[in-house]
């Protein structure tokens, strides 16, 4: 079997056919005179010259825009003679362009739910314009899948839409007239296999994910044959595939293969963007994290070097107080603290104090990033036997965590557990028990009694309660006391049946 048949270009796969002799256009036919007259009636919503100004587009984006005098007059107009209200006669191709623009704008502004809404509109409009078997409908499915995966981390929805897109491409004959249109079709195939591979990896379907990424590599080979695809585009395809493959090997715990794949990715990105590009920061961060994931084979020196590279690039591009600088400093501090030597812990404390000061200045005490840095600093204090400083820092952060995450949240229970461990190390078992009890109550409400954390905390409480002299001094709640009472038995021991009745005797 040839590579083309295995890839699916032949039988059983997406059939791409070149159409010669005519240029197929996706534009809708010109409106009839009757249609144009209706459009002229609605000239304030749609203009015949097919041009859209930025002001009109921005107005359609703002759902909360206050009504103007003109819109109020229009809303107060009487209906037509036939009793029906005015119908929006904007053709679907115009609506599609507006929806695509709004999806891009909402993506840049971080309005995730509105991005999903607009891409769903694009899906419906593409089906109206091109039918159920066109490759542009498959592209719309792939775009929606990409938004679900990248913006909301919904892997199930991403797999569903990529599967629909793949079905459209496999069950229809896809025709093209130019090399550029052929490149667009292969770009859709690349996006389908690439996103589905990532979604399957997230769902821990590693074998299927590996197959999808292998098909992605074959699509890149087909794109390489087209003269209209330049080297930068091919490099972008290679970078995406290399990163997805490296992450897949990392999840499979194939650390050696993943490390070599990350080295290849760094080389590709340095050639594409330069050695000092901000695009390299997340890759260096992932390289540092994978060096820590090898257990006893972890390479701390390589991890610190990767985090230093990321922090150096962030420092050369961003000003003090930028969120990217805080993230790289925090990762570097965690790398230094994991070495276990005094110099590493001193460097970690230096970076953590800088992060904490920056977070408190920019975000204030009531912010997730500030509380995260405080927890890391408290853990460093515990490792260096500075329990009093750690306890003071954790106690002061409990109220802020309750305000940010809620009184009953996993972050608050973890803080109580760290405080209880400090009390236990100090020999104050009474306070340790009370704090462990608070932690256990929150864990049971948030995670459930059968969760691993809840069971571990309950086991620790039982061990401490078995300490001589503790059970008498430490008073449990009424609910816990009732649980420890023996179960009620309706039959009294030592009874005999007299005349059909049970009587107790000594």
Q: Are residues 376 and 419 in the same domain?
A: no
Among 373, 396, 419, the domain boundary falls at: 396
Q: Are residues 386 and 318 in the same domain?
A: yes
pLDDT mean over 30-43: 40
Question: Residue 428 maps to which CATH number?
Answer: 1.25.40
Q: Are residues 15 and 157 in the same domain?
A: yes
Among 192, 211, 229, the domain boundary falls at: 229
Q: Tell me, yes or no, whether 476 lies in a domain.
A: yes
DSSP string for residues in 397-456: HHHHHHHHH-SSSHHHHHHHHHHHHHHHHTT-HHHHHHHHHHHHHHHHHHT-TTSHHHHH
- Classify strands 15-18 and 173-176 as parallel, antiparallel or unpaired: parallel
Regarding pTM above 0.75, the answer is no
Q: Are residues 182 and 200 in the same domain?
A: yes
Residues of the chain with pLDDT > 70, as a percent, come to: 75
**The predicted structure's pLDDT at residue 486:** 61
Q: Tell me, yes or no, whether 143 lies in a domain.
A: yes
Q: Are residues 125 and 225 in the same domain?
A: yes
Q: Are residues 386 and 412 in the same domain?
A: no
Torsion angles phi and psi, residue 2, rounded to 5 = -80, 170
Write down the mean pLDDT value for the chain: 81
Among 367, 396, 425, the domain boundary falls at: 396
Nearest to 419 by CA among 395, 452, 445: 395
298, pLDDT greater than 80? no
Give the range of the structural domain holding residue 122, as residue numbers without chain letter.
1-20+90-229
CA distance 95 to 58: 14
Q: Tell me, yes or no, whether 467 lies in a domain.
A: yes
Residue 222: C-alpha distances to residues 12, 216, 295, 486 (Å): 18, 10, 40, 74
Which band of pLDDT confidence, cut at 50, 70 and 90, is reported for residue 57? very low
**The predicted structure's pLDDT at residue 50:** 40
Name residues whose C-beta falls within 8 Å of residue 244's C-beta, 6 or more positions apart in sequence: 194, 197, 198, 201, 213, 216
Q: Tell me, yes or no, whether 417 lies in a domain.
A: yes
Which residue in this structure is represented by tokens 């204090």?
381
CA distance 165 to 158: 11
Q: Tell me, yes or no, whether 71 lies in a domain.
A: no
Residues of the chain with pLDDT > 90, as a percent, come to: 47
Q: Tell me, yes or no, whether 504 lies in a domain.
A: no
Longest CA span, the chain: 110
234, pLDDT greater than 90? yes
Which residue in this structure is represented by tokens 């965590």?
401
Count: domains in the chain? 3
Q: Tell me, yes or no, whether 77 lies in a domain.
A: no
User: What is the length of the chain?
Assistant: 506
In DSSP terms, which residues pair with 173 in a beta bridge? 15
DSSP string for residues in 451-474: SHHHHHHHHHHHHHHTSTTHHHHS
Q: Are residues 384 and 424 in the same domain?
A: no
Nearest to 243 by CA among 277, 189, 279, 192: 279
Q: Are residues 366 and 340 in the same domain?
A: yes
What element of type H or E holds 2? none
The secondary structure of residue 476, as a DSSP letter, is: P
Q: What is the pLDDT of residues 176-214, one digit of tens each?
A: 788 899 999 999 999 999 999 999 999 999 999 999 999
Q: Are residues 336 and 420 in the same domain?
A: no
Q: Are residues 325 and 433 in the same domain?
A: no
Least confident of 159-163, 340-344, 452-456: 340-344
- Classify strands 15-18 and 501-504 as parallel, antiparallel or unpaired: unpaired
Are 351 and 332 spatial neighbours (Cβ–Cβ below 8 Å)? yes
Q: What is the pLDDT of residues 301-312, one digit of tens each?
A: 888 999 999 999
Are 257 and 247 spatial neighbours (Cβ–Cβ below 8 Å)? no
DSSP string for residues in 82-103: TSPPPP----HHHHHHHHHHHH
Q: Are residues 376 and 410 in the same domain?
A: no
**The predicted structure's pLDDT at residue 223:** 93
The secondary structure of residue 280, as a DSSP letter, is: G
Question: Residue 295 maps to which CATH number?
Answer: 1.25.40.10
Q: Tell me, yes or no, whether 457 lies in a domain.
A: yes
**The predicted structure's pLDDT at residue 472:** 59
SS3 for 294-335, per residue? CHHHCCHHHHHHHHHHHHHHHHHHCCCCCHHHHHHHHHHHHH
Q: Are residues 353 and 285 in the same domain?
A: yes
CA distance 223 to 215: 13
**The predicted structure's pLDDT at residue 473:** 61
Are 336 and 351 spatial neighbours (Cβ–Cβ below 8 Å)? yes
């Amino acid at each position: 079997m040839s590579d083309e048949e295995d890839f699916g270009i032949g039988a059983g796969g997406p059939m791409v056919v070149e159409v010669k002799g005519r240029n197929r256009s996706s534009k809708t036919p010109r409106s009839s005179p009757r249609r144009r007259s209706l459009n002229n009636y609605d000239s304030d919503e749609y203009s015949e010259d097919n041009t859209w100004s930025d002001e009109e587009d921005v107005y359609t984006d703002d759902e909360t825009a206050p009504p103007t005098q003109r819109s109020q007059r229009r809303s107060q107009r009487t209906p037509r003679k036939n009793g029906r209200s005015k119908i929006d006669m904007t053709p679907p191709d115009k609506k599609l362009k507006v929806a695509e623009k709004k999806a891009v704008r909402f993506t840049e502004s971080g309005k995730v739910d509105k991005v999903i809404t607009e891409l769903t509109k694009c899906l419906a409009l593409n089906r109206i314009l091109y039918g159920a078997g066109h490759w542009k409908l498959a592209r719309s499915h792939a775009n929606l899948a990409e938004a679900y995966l990248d913006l909301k981390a919904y892997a199930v929805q991403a797999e569903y839409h990529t599967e629909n897109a793949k079905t459209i491409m496999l069950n229809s004959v896809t025709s093209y007239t130019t090399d550029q249109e052929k490149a667009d079709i292969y770009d859709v195939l690349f996006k389908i296999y690439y996103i589905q591979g990532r979604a399957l990896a997230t769902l821990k379907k590693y074998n299927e994910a590996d197959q999808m990424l292998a098909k992605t590599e074959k699509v890149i080979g087909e794109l390489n044959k087209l003269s209209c695809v330049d080297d930068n585009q091919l490099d972008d395809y290679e970078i995406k595939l290399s990163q997805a493959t490296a992450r897949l090997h990392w999840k499979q715990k194939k650390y050696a293969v993943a490390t070599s794949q990350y080295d290849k990715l760094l080389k590709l990105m340095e050639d594409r963007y330069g050695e000092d590009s901000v695009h390299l920061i997340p890759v260096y961060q992932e390289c540092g994290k994978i060096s820590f994931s090898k257990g006893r084979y972890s390479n701390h020196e390589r991890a610190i070097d990767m985090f230093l590279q990321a922090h150096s690039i962030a420092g050369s591009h961003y000003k003090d107080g930028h969120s990217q600088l805080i993230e790289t400093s925090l990762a570097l501090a965690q790398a230094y603290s994991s070495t276990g030597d005094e110099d590493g812990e001193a460097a970690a404390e230096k970076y953590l104090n800088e992060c904490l000061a920056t977070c408190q200045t920019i975000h204030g005490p009531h912010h997730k990033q500030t509380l995260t840095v405080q927890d890391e600093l408290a853990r460093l204090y515990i490792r260096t036997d500075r329990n009093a400083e750690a306890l003071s820092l954790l106690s002061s952060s409990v109220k802020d965590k309750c305000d940010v995450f809620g009184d009953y949240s996993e972050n608050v229970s973890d803080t109580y557990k760290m405080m209880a461990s400090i009390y236990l190390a100090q020999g104050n078992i009474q306070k340790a028990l009370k704090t462990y009890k608070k932690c256990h109550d929150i864990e049971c409400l948030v995670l459930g009694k059968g969760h691993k954390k809840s069971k571990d905390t309950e086991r620790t409480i039982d061990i401490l309660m078995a300490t001589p002299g503790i059970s008498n001094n430490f008073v449990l709640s009424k609910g816990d006391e009732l649980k420890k009472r023996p179960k009620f038995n309706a039959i009294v021991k030592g009874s005999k049946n007299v005349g059909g009745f049970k009587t107790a005797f000594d």
